[in-house]
Amino acid sequence: MKIILEREKCIGCGACAAICSKHWELKDDGKTDLIGSNLNSEGNYEKEITDIECNQEASEGCPVNCIKIIK
């Protein structure tokens, strides 16, 4: 499985970090960061995961839908 963050769409509401602080944090620029992710060729951040954990809730809680989970 993979998590993809379209960071340019992020509005910095902090819902993902509040729901799943193990994988998400707000950075100094006011946008969220997917901890341990890498920038992909499409300009998005991605991270391979073995367990969805709280990331599904973080994705569902994002008001601008910038978090995707690929199974």
Write down the domain spans for the chain: 2-70
What is the tens place of the pLDDT at every residue in 16-69?
999 999 999 999 999 999 999 999 999 999 999 988 889 999 999 999 999 999
| Model pTM above 0.85 | yes
Those residues whose C-beta lies under 8 Å from the C-beta of residue 15, and which sit 6 or more positions away, are: 58, 61, 62, 63
The whole-angstrom separation of Cα 35 and Cα 55 is 12
Q: Which residues contact 45 (CB under 8 A, 6 or more apart)?
A: 4, 5, 7, 33, 34, 37, 38, 39
Q: Where are the alpha helices (DSSP H) in 1-71?
A: 15-19, 55-61
| CATH tag for 2-70 (out of 2.30.110.10, 3.30.70.20, 3.40.50.720, 3.30.470.20) | 3.30.70.20
